[in-house]
Each structure stands twice: as structure tokens, then as C-alpha cells.
């Protein structure tokens, strides 16, 4: 990777955590590019800004309110300026491509990792509820109560990111990560056991919706280059993360049997020239390919309906359409309006809209 991106030899270091989603058992912790290095363990001790890996906490907070947000809710990705108490200057988040994208369906904003619409969504939801979601998912470090935390200024060790994604991978059930099962006496009797502990911290339905959006990030969003290494039939869900000046490259995601987090960066916090998709993700994919990955189970919890929706407009779409994307909805929150394949509203939808306006 250093040769490919013309970096000095030894410039990059990294960390990896792999665990089993359902039981929380840690399968691997790698704290340095030198696997036999016994010292500072980056997987456990390095606190690095996590960039967009934080975003699922925001989107889950939204999706837990199906009466207000669904995967097709349109988010506003136009320029944003925000002044916050305790901050010296106004906060103006930018997208990675330096463009603004107008109104975008919620799933697409996460899959393409748009910063501006995500920040606006976070502000709508409120800083406190979003940070509480991150803590519910398993983040233990104190998080600064500023909106900048939404876009990943939070500095976390990879092991805590692994805990956060473990909870998502296990359908909303947090299982504390464990590296020791039990301590035995010389006779082989257990002296101390570290039993499985599990706590449901988010509804299965909301996590199912979030997982679908994270699968779309891999199918067609920021992580789509993964398909050169892992087949789409695995339905991998994951998220890329890149920090300012390309200093940290992250990828966190899961197959059906492993959840993994990879960080690539430089110990002096200098630029690496790598994004999450060019640095951490290929390493994650190659590693996962060697672990005999099982597909993410395509099982929907009760109370979920799948519908074909238009990728640009966020309304339902009927018939064969190349712009259609199948999305899950919590029953009762399905979009009511319908568009044609070109994104134009059908007559029925126009009449319904007119009728709703009349009733208001």
C-alpha cells in the first residue's frame, strides 16, 4: 500500500479488531503492523478521530422514530452554517466531493456518506439523543456534546468502534466483547467464568433498516469497490471513514459470522493520502475473504415490509424500473406517494397530495 501510494516505507501503521457478532467473542486483535510487537496496542489504546464511522449512530436515532423518518425520507444536503455555544466560529460542514446534493433520500445520504445532510439530520434530532445512541451501542469514552461530534471528531480506540458495530451486527443486542471465556483450576474446573451478557439496546426493526442502508453503502455507495474481493451474495454491511487531511482511514463492517474494524494511519498524525475506501477497506475485505465469511442473514424481524422505491425521489415506484431500490419499512411508515420510473408523480399521487392539502 505504501508503494502504491508513494509513501515512505514504514509510514503507515494499523490496527484490527475482529469479533463474533452474536457472542461478542474476540477472534483477533492486532495492535501494530508488526504482529509480534509488544508495546503500545493501537487496537486498544490509540484514540483516533473516527470520521464517518460515527454516522450510523445518527441514522439509527432517526430510524428509531418511524413516524418521522424512514429510509426514503428526503434530507436536505444544501449548504449549512451552524453556530454553537462554546464554539468560536460557525461550523460549516463540507461533503468529501465538495459538492452539495440537494434533497437526497436518507439511505443514499448514509450510503454515499454525505456530511452536510447528515449534520443537518443530527441537528434536527438533537446532540444529546444522538450521543446517547452512540453510548447505547457501546461507546464508553465521553463524547463532546457538540455537533462536530456527528461528523466524527470523536476520538475512539478501534475496540470501542468494534463494540459499536457489534451491536448493529447483532440486530440491536449489545454483547460486551470478551477475550477470556473462563479461568480454570489445575484440575480443569472453572475458577472464574466470563459468561455471555446481552442487552437489547435498540429495536430489531430500526437496526434492520440501518443494516440495509449499510449494505447499500457496500453495494453501491462509498464501499462499492469491495465487490472486487467479496461477492455481493454475502450482503456485507459496512461503513468507510476518513478524517481531515486524510489522516485516518477506517472501515467497520460485518458478514454473518464476523464483525471487523480496521484502522490505518500514521502514529505522528500526519496525512496518509488514504481514504477509508482506499486504505482500510481493501485490508478489511482481504482479511474477511480469508475468514470463510457467511452471508448476513436475510431475515426480517416482524413488522417490516419491503417496497420498491425510486432512488432519487424517495417515493414508491411500480413495475420494472432501473431506478428502483428495494427498501424495508416499519409497517405503517411506508411512503404513500408513487412515482413513475422517471421520478414524476403519478396521477393517483397527485390526487392524493391535492386531497391531503385540502384536508389540512
Residues that bind another protein (CB under 8 A): 20-23, 25, 171, 173, 181-182, 190, 193, 195-200, 204, 257, 297, 299, 301-302
Nearer to another protein, 2 or 197 (CB): 197
Nearer to another protein, 52 or 211 (CB): 211
CA 340/CA 323 separation, integer angstroms: 10
- Structure-block grid coordinates of residue 77: 444536503
At its nearest, how many Å lie between another protein and the CB of residue 162? 16
- Cα distances (angstroms) measured from residue 206 to each of 86, 132, 173, 321, 352: 33, 16, 12, 27, 28
Nearer to another protein, 20 or 62 (CB): 20
Nearer to another protein, 20 or 156 (CB): 20
At its nearest, how many Å lie between another protein and the CB of residue 302? 8
At its nearest, how many Å lie between another protein and the CB of residue 196? 6
Nearer to another protein, 193 or 286 (CB): 193
At its nearest, how many Å lie between another protein and the CB of residue 238? 19
Nearer to another protein, 193 or 353 (CB): 193
Taking phi over 0 as left and psi of -120 to 50 as alpha, with beta for the rest, 292 belongs to: left
Residue where the block lists cell 455471555:
196
At its nearest, how many Å lie between another protein and the CB of residue 297? 7
At its nearest, how many Å lie between another protein and the CB of residue 172? 8
Amino acid at each position: 500500500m505504501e508503494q502504491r501510494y508513494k509513501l515512505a516505507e514504514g509510514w503507515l501503521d494499523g490496527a484490527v479488531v475482529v469479533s463474533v457478532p452474536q457472542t461478542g467473542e474476540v477472534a483477533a486483535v492486532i495492535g501494530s503492523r508488526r504482529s509480534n510487537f509488544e508495546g503500545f496496542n493501537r487496537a486498544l489504546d490509540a484514540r483516533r478521530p473516527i470520521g464517518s464511522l460515527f454516522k450510523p449512530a445518527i441514522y439509527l436515532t432517526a430510524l428509531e422514530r418511524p413516524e418521522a423518518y424512514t429510509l426514503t425520507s428526503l434530507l436536505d444536503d444544501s449548504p449549512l452554517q451552524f453556530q454553537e455555544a462554546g464554539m468560536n466560529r460557525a461550523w460549516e460542514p463540507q461533503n468529501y466531493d465538495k459538492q452539495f446534493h440537494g434533497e437526497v433520500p436518507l439511505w443514499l445520504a448514509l450510503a454515499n456518506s454525505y456530511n452536510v445532510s447528515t449534520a443537518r439530520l443530527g441537528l434536527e434530532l438533537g446532540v444529546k439523543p444522538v450521543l446517547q445512541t452512540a453510548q447505547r451501542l457501546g461507546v464508553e469514552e465521553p463524547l463532546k456534546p457538540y455537533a462536530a461530534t456527528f461528523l466524527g471528531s470523536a476520538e475512539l480506540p478501534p475496540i470501542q468502534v468494534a463494540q459499536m458495530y457489534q451491536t448493529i451486527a447483532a440486530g440491536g443486542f449489545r454483547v460486551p466483547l470478551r477475550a477470556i471465556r473462563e479461568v480454570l483450576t489445575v484440575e480443569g474446573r472453572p475458577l472464574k467464568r466470563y459468561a455471555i451478557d446481552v442487552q437489547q439496546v435498540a429495536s430489531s426493526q430500526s437496526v434492520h433498516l440501518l443494516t440495509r442502508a449499510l449494505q447499500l453503502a457496500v453495494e453501491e455507495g462509498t464501499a462499492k469497490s469491495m465487490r472486487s474481493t467479496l461477492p455481493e451474495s454475502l450482503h456485507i454491511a459496512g461503513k468507510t471513514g476518513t478524517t481531515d487531511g486524510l489522516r485516518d482511514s477506517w472501515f467497520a463492517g460485518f458478514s454473518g459470522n464476523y464483525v471487523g474494524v480496521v484502522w490505518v494511519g500514521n502514529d505522528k498524525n500526519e496525512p496518509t493520502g488514504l481514504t477509508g475506501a482506499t486504505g482500510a477497506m481493501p485490508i478489511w475485505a482481504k482479511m474477511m475473504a480469508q475468514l470463510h465469511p457467511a452471508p448476513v442473514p436475510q431475515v426480517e424481524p416482524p413488522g417490516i415490509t419491503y417496497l420498491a422505491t425510486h432512488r432519487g425521489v424517495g417515493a414508491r415506484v411500480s413495475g420494472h424500473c432501473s431506478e428502483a431500490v428495494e427498501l424495508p419499512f416499519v409497517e405503517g411508515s411506508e411512503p404513500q406517494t408513487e412515482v413513475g420510473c422517471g421520478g414524476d408523480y403519478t396521477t393517483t399521487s397527485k390526487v392524493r397530495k391535492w386531497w391531503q392539502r385540502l384536508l389540512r
